Amino acid sequence: MPMMTGKQAFMEMLRAEDVKYIFGNPGTSESAIMASLPDYADIQYMLVIQEGVGMGMADGYATASGAPAFVNLHIETGLANGVSLLHHAWDGGTPLVLTAGNKDARKLAEGRSDLVEMARQFTKWSAEVTHPEQVPSVMRRAFTEAKTPPTGPVFVALAANALEDSADVEISPSIDGYHRASPDPAGVEAAAELLAKAANPVIFAGDRLAQSGGTDAAVRLAELIGATVYTTSYARMNFPQSHPQFLGRINPSLPAWREELANGDVVLAVGMDVFSGFFYFSGSVLTKRTSLIHVDSASRAIGRSEPTQVGIVADPRAALADIHDAVQQRMSGSQREAARGRAGNVSARKKQMKAQWELRLKDTWDSRPMSPERMMAEVARALPADAIVVDDSISSKDALHGAIDFDRPDSIYGERIGAIGWGMGAAMGVKLAHPDRPVAAVVGDGSAMMTVQALWTAANADMPVVYLVCNNRSYRILKVNMNIYKAQVLGESPPGAYVGMDFPNPLNLAGMANACGVFGRVIEDPTEIAPAIEQALASGKPALLDIMIDGSV
């Protein structure tokens, strides 16, 4: 085995893992890595000036490319700034390897931060390298953990002495592995027995379903049994939005939606957490009359909070294909006819929902400030067919998804939890993964402000991303949730005032963009949106359109 320093072994492992980008903001604790970079021209350092931007870029890149992304932050201070979006990566299962330099392990008496514990609760695995001989094996395990389903972020701390000292090491990358685990046949049979005779089946399509490439399998099964299809998160194209049986996003944890699900006798949840939400309401989401089937690659999610009749730990695509075949063999002619009738009823309901959206758009067509629906209608008109939308629209999400049917794989990547600030960096990461496709990020003004430093990186890296800011001059999502809190938690009337949720001094995102070297423009007239988007995309440069919309609730 060759003798080399820990920092050389570290860089050689990145090369062996085919790492193309280091997303980072360096500090003195990263000196050994930064000094090594000139010898590794095939690895590009993507400089950010705020750690959340680097985490967002890595998240977007990993999600869009399917390959683990690599992030390097500065000791405890930089790591702390990245933790909110580390949480986002953990919740979404992003394959990501996060590292941070630490003081020399021999500085025990002086005191050194326990970086491993800082990151542990939001990672699949968290460890510290304290000897150069550990570098290859730890990095190999880190990449293996990150990309093995259920995928997720991993953290590695790097003690200064581990990078500077030398050892005999062997550079060997992680293997790709064969992770498409087949379902237990007994579980398939149990699920098929329930679904074949279901009178009102419901399917929830989750993000891990899309990650497995199982959307087509879900469509076939939904059509076979005549199921109503929902999702709780749409961070990927989980189910074709124009499909007549897909009724969009709901929050089953809220009492209003519990009544909706009470009509279902069998619920099949695939590749998702069942059922997560911030507010606590006593009792189960599903009634005792409803049987729950949960199919997931994440064993930790199955049976975690809801009574589950059939839990299947497997690759979602493989499991749904087997369940479909088993159900098909069981269904009688009358059951197939009933399924077709159910599908027709769901389709009629879908048309009613679309008509209601069109009516809202018509009623607010000339409103000033413009409605979110009008903004998104104009955005839909302007974006080319191959555009990728990075959805960080927060409280304007329903308007976006009402205007655009995301039916193509890789047509949308969205935020997953309440850690806002993801979209500004994520859009650049998605662009790195898909350099030949237009990328437009639809971002709430509050979220954009959390990581507005991304505009500097966009200018510095000449990243042709178009940011479309939904500027409603408020934290509107907090107002929406305040209304839920008052009405559904406390049983009270909506508040007369929303404290700390408005921006009396509006955020001048266009001005900030111009100050960072990115073209920025304020838009108040909706007829200007489409031409501005087309011009921005044609420029091949980063741009930000600060679009003024109605923020009322």
Q: Which residue's entry shows tokens 């359109």?
A: 545
Both 205 and 126 in a single domain?
Answer: no
Cα 380 from chain centre: 21
Both 162 and 258 in a single domain?
Answer: no
Both 390 and 341 in a single domain?
Answer: no
Contacts of 59 (CB under 8 A, 6+ apart): 69, 85, 88, 89, 92, 94, 96, 422, 425, 426, 429
pLDDT in tens, 41-100: 999 999 999 999 999 999 999 999 999 999 999 999 999 999 999 999 999 999 999 999
Q: What is the pLDDT of residue 513?
A: 98
Both 346 and 368 in a single domain?
Answer: no
Both 60 and 89 in a single domain?
Answer: yes
CB 411 within 8 A of CB 365: no
Both 255 and 401 in a single domain?
Answer: no
Between CA 553 and CA 538 the distance in angstroms is 36
pLDDT at 390 over 90: yes
Between CA 57 and CA 48 the distance in angstroms is 9
CA end-to-end distance (rounded Å), the chain: 65
Residue 173, in any domain of the structure:
no
- The confidence band for 263, taking pLDDT boundaries of 50, 70 and 90, is confident
pLDDT at 267 over 80: yes
Q: What is the pLDDT of residue 280?
A: 87
Q: What is the pLDDT of residue 325?
A: 98
Average pLDDT of every residue of the chain: 96
Cα 539 from chain centre: 28
Q: What is the pLDDT of residue 394?
A: 94
Residue 356, in any domain of the structure:
no
What average pLDDT does the segment 477-483 reach?
A: 94
Both 232 and 115 in a single domain?
Answer: no
Q: What is the pLDDT of residue 227?
A: 98
Tokens of 488: 């559904």
**19 or 409: which carries more pLDDT confidence?**
19
Q: What is the pLDDT of residue 4?
A: 94
Give the chain's domain count.
3
Q: Which residue's entry shows tokens 């008052």?
A: 486
- The confidence band for 494, taking pLDDT boundaries of 50, 70 and 90, is confident
What average pLDDT does the segment 322-328 reach?
A: 98
Q: Which of 373, 349, 350, 379 is nearest to 360 (CA)?
A: 373
Residue 192, in any domain of the structure:
yes
Q: At 130, which helix (H) or strand (E)? A: none
Both 372 and 253 in a single domain?
Answer: no
Between CA 17 and CA 508 the distance in angstroms is 41
Residue 178, in any domain of the structure:
no
Both 458 and 520 in a single domain?
Answer: yes
Residue 215, in any domain of the structure:
yes
Between CA 412 and CA 237 the distance in angstroms is 6
Q: What is the pLDDT of residue 172?
A: 95
Both 477 and 392 in a single domain?
Answer: yes
Q: What is the pLDDT of residue 176?
A: 86
What average pLDDT does the segment 218-246 reach?
A: 97
Helices (H), 103-237: 115-120, 135-147, 160-164, 185-196, 207-211, 215-225
Boundary (domain end) residue, out of 324, 350, 376: 350
The CATH number that applies at residue 72 is 3.40.50.970
pLDDT at 1 over 80: no
Q: What residues does 269 pair with on adjacent strands?
A: 204, 294
277 is in which domain, residue-wise?
Answer: 185-350
Both 57 and 157 in a single domain?
Answer: yes
pLDDT in tens, 276-299: 888 888 889 999 999 999 999 999
What average pLDDT does the segment 114-142 reach?
A: 97
pTM of the model: 0.96
Residue 213, in any domain of the structure:
yes
Q: Of all residues in the chain, what percent carry a pLDDT higher than 70?
A: 100
pLDDT at 418 over 80: no
Q: What is the pLDDT of residue 258?
A: 86
The CATH number that applies at residue 228 is 3.40.50.1220
Both 387 and 344 in a single domain?
Answer: no
